[in-house]
Amino acid sequence: MTAPRILVFDSGLGGLTVYREFLEKRPDASYLYVADNAVFPYGDLQDEELVIRLLALFDVLIEREQPDLCVIACNTASTIALAPLRDHFEVPFVGTVPAIKTAGEKTKSGLFSLLATPGTVKRRYTSDLVEHFASHCHVTMVGAECLAELAEDFMRGKAIDSNQLVQILKPAFVEKRGVRTDIIVLGCTHYPLLINEMRKVELWPVSYIDPAPAIAKQGQVVLRRLFGENLNVGEEEVGNQLLYTGSDDIISNIGGYLSNIGLHEVRRDEIIR
């Protein structure tokens, strides 16, 4: 049986948190990670502009790479472009959804926060999730400026300004009528890269919900439908790749890390011009 070919896509390096989850569950698969850092962060683009770009990118990627599954490991891209991508291509797509439902089920205080990009926070899609799955809770939505950029800088070895991080996180910690926020939903795949740093400056202990495991779980549902339960472990090792569309700065100081997670071939590829 042929091993699955999985394309994991993000505007930057945050989707590596999702890639790692897929790699753990399907080590037999062949992976292509695509970082569209030429226009990072996606929140700076107009919705229509982003949809047009992603359709053009995937026109090339799907024809050239022949993936069996495409994973949009980006909240902004998923909320804006997942439906058009699914309508346009026959290849199955798995997207990224803020874990509002999970938080609504797990919170004990009834107070939880969504920490996401300003674009994700303001979209009707996100407020609909709150209305449908957490209407019994007090949900604080925090649009975090520059947190994804801080996460990428941190990956490349730059120290985090703890005071800046405190100011970003502070609105997510809410106390009402003697109870406190007990869960923070990380609404961007970049943010789990900073969980340990967040814990150092949190106002009180909270649980953080990383979106990556749920994305990978849904991906396995699709892969089982396509390939069954069997893993092809033990076959010849596949060389997994990372492509990036913009500046070489994205990979500065992380070559060892990428190699450790199986991304041995790394190169720049504009994909579209």
Catalytic site positions: 74, 188
Sheet strands side by side (includes 69-72): 93-94, 69-72, 5-10, 30-35, 240-244, 263-268
Q: Contact at 8 Å (CB) between 156 and 254?
A: yes
Distance from C-alpha of 117 to C-alpha of 12, rounded to nearest angstrom: 14
CB atoms within 10 A of CB 228: 9
Distance from C-alpha of 262 to C-alpha of 259, rounded to nearest angstrom: 5
**Coil, strand or helix at 84:** helix
CB atoms within 10 A of CB 248: 11
Angle at 229 between CA 227 and CA 232, to 5 degrees: 75
CA-based nearest residue to 210, from 231, 226, 188 = 188
Distance from C-alpha of 15 to C-alpha of 8, rounded to nearest angstrom: 7
Instruction: Count how many Cα atoms sit within 13 Å of the Cα of residue 178 in the half-sphere of its side chain.
Output: 0
Q: Contact at 8 Å (CB) between 170 and 184?
A: no
Q: Contact at 8 Å (CB) between 129 and 100?
A: yes
**ω before 41 within 30° of 0 (cis)?**
yes
